[in-house]
């Protein structure tokens, strides 16, 4: 049997990893400034993470949601403490797409409407309603195209109000900092405007924090830079540091009745142990503060490089924009300098999504390599 080719492949086979480094079959060391799509939050194979997961699987790895699972309660409490999102309900699932799928479904159950508003260059996952809300025609199959979706320009509150006035929009879904779209972010007036308009027209405001959440931007959630109260917050990626886990936080104004949402694997014991450890390490090692400090250091260094036309994003969710396509540069960074970086929909943008444990010396290594590449 052959493998379905999911993404363009780099010819590297990592066999182990430690903190910000990945090692291939020849034990060559790569600096990971990509975190496997923003997933590795507390560093690869963090000792506490290895210990907790191993211990949990030796006790009880899985039982279904038909029994009580105290780890879910512990996770919900810790999440409330670190995020500051008071009195939300937590529903656990297994991925970002599934989180958004449940968020959109719940919004529609809540207000009885059916249409989705999303934004240009959005990415919300690859399943039915989530992919329909994604601004990428080539991954939307005819079966997904049945969903009624309107894609608006970032920043356009006038069109948003026009759409909401028709009283058929169940949810406005947005990444407050876009991920794969290219790190675009609008103004506080825009996000606060969405919040107000959603409340005025009884539409749910869904903040997709799948990539930007769990401390990546230096705040626990990217939306927390603004005075907004999302009705539903979707989470995944950094939440499990590689263990597949996702979820939604549901505002107390939404009261889903019993049985509207469900899942077999979601919130299992191992997933909870993984995510709890992520939260504990973020707190113990002060990783949100580190994200802020390393971000400032990164930006300072980036300013010295004239080829970088724009630095986008916040915290350790950054984009470096050049005035030429970066695919050769990215290849050279990997093969010549052994540094992983990410790409985006914007062909001129390098995406930087390192573990939140990154230090100055790693950033120095990156900029030395970048300078060498830009000189040649």
Ligand X SMILES: *Cc1c(COP(=O)(O)O)cnc(C)c1O
Q: Residue numbers of the site for ligand X (CB under 6 A)?
A: 95-97, 100, 123-125, 175, 179, 208, 210-211, 236-237
Element (H, E) at 14: strand 14-18
Between strands 169-174 and 21-24, the pairing is: unpaired
CB of 185 to ligand X, least distance (A): 13
CB of 358 to ligand X, least distance (A): 19
CB of 208 to ligand X, least distance (A): 5
Shorter beta-carbon distance to ligand X: residue 83 or 301: 83
CB of 14 to ligand X, least distance (A): 19
The C-alpha atoms of residue 228 and residue 325 are separated, in whole angstroms, by: 36
Shorter beta-carbon distance to ligand X: residue 134 or 370: 134
Task: Specify whether the CB–CB gap between 83 and 220 falls below 8 A.
Answer: yes
CB of 98 to ligand X, least distance (A): 7
Contacting residues for 270 by C-beta, under 8 A, at least 6 apart = 53, 56, 57, 61, 62, 243
The C-alpha atoms of residue 336 and residue 338 are separated, in whole angstroms, by: 6
Q: Give one word for 38, left, alpha or beta, with left for phi > 0 and alpha for psi -120 to 50.
A: left
Q: CA angle 134-139-142, nearest 5°?
A: 100
Shorter beta-carbon distance to ligand X: residue 193 or 213: 213
CB of 94 to ligand X, least distance (A): 8
Between strands 204-208 and 232-235, the pairing is: parallel
CB of 125 to ligand X, least distance (A): 4
Shorter beta-carbon distance to ligand X: residue 212 or 295: 212
Shorter beta-carbon distance to ligand X: residue 127 or 332: 127
Task: Specify whether the CB–CB gap between 197 and 186 falls below 8 A.
Answer: no
Would you give the DSSP letter of residue 176?
S
Shorter beta-carbon distance to ligand X: residue 17 or 183: 183
Shorter beta-carbon distance to ligand X: residue 225 or 337: 225
Shorter beta-carbon distance to ligand X: residue 350 or 370: 350
Torsion angle of C-alpha atoms 335, 121, 93, 3, degrees rounded to 10:
-40
Which residue, 296, 341, 300, 302, is CA-closest to 314? Answer: 296
Q: Measured at CB, which residue is nearest to ligand X?
A: 96
Residue pointed to by tokens 């989530």: 130
CB of 174 to ligand X, least distance (A): 10
Q: In what order do the strands lie in the sheet with 21-24?
A: 14-18, 21-24, 29-32, 339-340
């Amino acid at each position: 049997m052959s493998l379905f080719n999911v993404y363009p492949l780099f010819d590297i086979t990592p066999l182990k990893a430690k903190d910000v480094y990945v090692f291939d079959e020849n034990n060559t060391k790569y600096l990971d400034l990509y975190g496997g799509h923003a997933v590795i939050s507390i560093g690869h194979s963090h000792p506490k993470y290895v210990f907790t997961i191993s211990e949990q699987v030796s006790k009880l790895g899985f039982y279904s949601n038909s029994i009580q699972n105290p780890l879910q309660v512990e996770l919900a409490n810790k999440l409330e403490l670190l995020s500051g999102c008071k009195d939300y309900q937590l529903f656990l699932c297994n991925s970002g797409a599934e989180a958004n799928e449940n968020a959109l479904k719940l919004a529609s159950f809540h207000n009885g409407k059916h249409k989705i508003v999303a934004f240009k260059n959005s990415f919300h996952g690859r399943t039915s309603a989530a992919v329909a809300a994604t601004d990428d025609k080539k991954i939307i199959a005819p079966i997904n195209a049945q969903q009624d979706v309107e894609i608006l320009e970032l920043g356009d509150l006038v069109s948003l109000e026009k759409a909401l006035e028709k009283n058929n929009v169940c949810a406005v879904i947005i990444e407050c900092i876009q991920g794969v779209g290219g790190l675009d972010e609008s103004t506080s007036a825009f996000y606060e405007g969405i919040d107000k308009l959603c409340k005025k027209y009884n539409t749910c405001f869904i903040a997709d924090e799948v990539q930007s959440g769990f401390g990546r931007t230096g705040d626990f959630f990217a939306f927390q830079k603004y005075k907004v109260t999302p009705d539903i917050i979707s989470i995944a990626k950094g939440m499990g540091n590689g263990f597949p886990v996702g979820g939604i936080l549901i505002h107390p104004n939404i009261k889903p009745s019993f049985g509207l949402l469900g899942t077999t694997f979601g919130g299992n014991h191992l997933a909870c142990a993984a995510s709890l450890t992520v939260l504990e390490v973020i707190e113990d090692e002060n990783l949100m503060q580190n994200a802020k400090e390393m971000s400032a250091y990164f930006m300072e260094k980036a300013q010295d490089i004239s080829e970088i036309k724009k630095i986008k994003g916040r915290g350790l969710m950054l984009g470096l924009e050049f005035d030429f396509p970066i695919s050769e540069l990215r290849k050279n960074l990997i093969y010549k300098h052994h540094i992983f970086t990410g790409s985006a929909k914007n062909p001129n943008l390098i995406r930087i999504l390192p573990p939140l444990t990154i230090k100055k010396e790693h950033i120095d290594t990156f900029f030395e390599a970048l300078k060498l590449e830009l000189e040649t």
